[in-house]
Amino acid sequence: MLISPAFLALNGGAMLVSLLMLMAAGQAVQVLRHWDIKSGSERQLALERRTYLIATLVTWSVAAELVALLLFLHTAESMSSQFVGAMCATGVLNAHALGWPVLGLKIAVFFAGAVWLLVNQLDNKSPVYPLVRLKYALLLALLPLVLVQALAQLGFFLGLNPDLITSCCGSLFTAEGEGVAAEVAGIDPMLSLALMYGSGVALLAAGMRYPWEGRCGIVYALAGMLAFALALVAIVSAVALYVYEHPHHHCPFCLLKAGRGFIGYWLYLSLFAGAALALGVGVISPLRRVASISAVADAQARRLTTVSLGLFALFYLIATFAVVGSNLTMEGVWW
């Protein structure tokens, strides 16, 4: 076990977020049990006022989770010197079976939280609060995710054993290695870039239909998820190489190091925000069937689609810039 300030900050923070979410869930249960929008009673008024507290608690939890996600990666990065064979975050995540699951859970919590906030925002637009039951049921579903994430993270840090020899990005993300990461790194860069841009075009096609024709909300969300996944693959198999200007360095985390002009932050922020909003579109566009918020949901979904498309476009722009502006030339090797 390694008691470092970052360890304490991450786990203390996760505990606090769990506490806030438990509180929010407790309030949500109260609301679910006694909600009666038609009533003018004092109890209904009190419940309506609780919804403000719940929304505030969740907003802060999601914000804290986002900061925690970055802090988690940087902590893993800074701990790499304590593990033989680890040179960056990858090695530290490899050092324990829970490393990658924790990262996945953290990303999932961020996406789920962001979608919940979008649904909440939509619900607040109608005086009859038509989504109260849906959104608080979703909140109760989000709670276990947050708790599991906190526990997994604690388990990960407690289980880390500094004497362990781990493998790092150099050996994990190589074309010669085995496992998912190696498979991803080993994909033909030309293919992966083509897939990334291809999925971008598909996304654009799906996205254009929504704002103009009001159709394919769910298709857009699916296209968004696909584009998100393929973008991550392309980062590992091709874009990262251009950023590092090194033909064999595939690591997706080293992009976050300050030395690369913070390009990693721009890449990931635009990609994650775009994907989260795309997911939001997928959840919101079916809600047009709810009569009292039909128009609002439609307008909101159109707006989100546009913003999400813009963010994805920004991501593709940055990625293209990273490839074109790089000093690494792979002509003749790859194409």
Closest distance of CB 166 from another protein, Å: 12
* Sign of torsion over alpha carbons 274, 286, 297, 45: negative
Write down the least CB distance from residue 24 to another protein, Å.
10
Nearest CB to another protein, comparing residues 42 and 331: 42
Distance of alpha carbon 108 from alpha carbon 324, whole angstroms: 32
Cβ closest to another protein, residue 32 vs residue 187: 32
- Is 267 within 8 Å of 206 (Cβ atoms)? no
| Residues found near another protein in the complex (CB under 8 A) | 2-10, 12-13, 16, 19-20, 23, 37-38, 40-43, 45, 48-49, 52-53, 56-57, 60, 64, 67-68, 70-71, 74-75, 78, 81-84, 124, 127, 129, 162, 258
Q: How far is the CB of 329 from another protein (least distance, A)?
A: 26
Rg (CA), the chain: 22
Q: How far is the CB of 163 from another protein (least distance, A)?
A: 10
The C-alpha atoms of residue 91 and residue 114 are separated, in whole angstroms, by 29
- Smaller CB distance to another protein: residue 95 or 219? 95
- Closest contact distance (angstroms) between CB of 170 and another protein is 9
Residue placing its CB nearer to another protein in the complex, 57 or 146: 57
Distance CA 296, CA 145 (A): 29
**Closer CB to another protein, 198 or 247, in the complex:** 247
- First-residue to last-residue Cα distance in the chain: 48
Give the helix ranges, DSSP H, for the chain.
5-34, 42-79, 89-94, 99-123, 132-159, 169-172, 180-186, 189-213, 217-234, 240-244, 263-284, 294-324
d(CA 81, CA 15): 27
CB of 58 to another protein, least distance (A): 11
Which residue's entry shows tokens 């913070």?
A: 262
Closest to another protein by CB, 57 vs 251, is 57
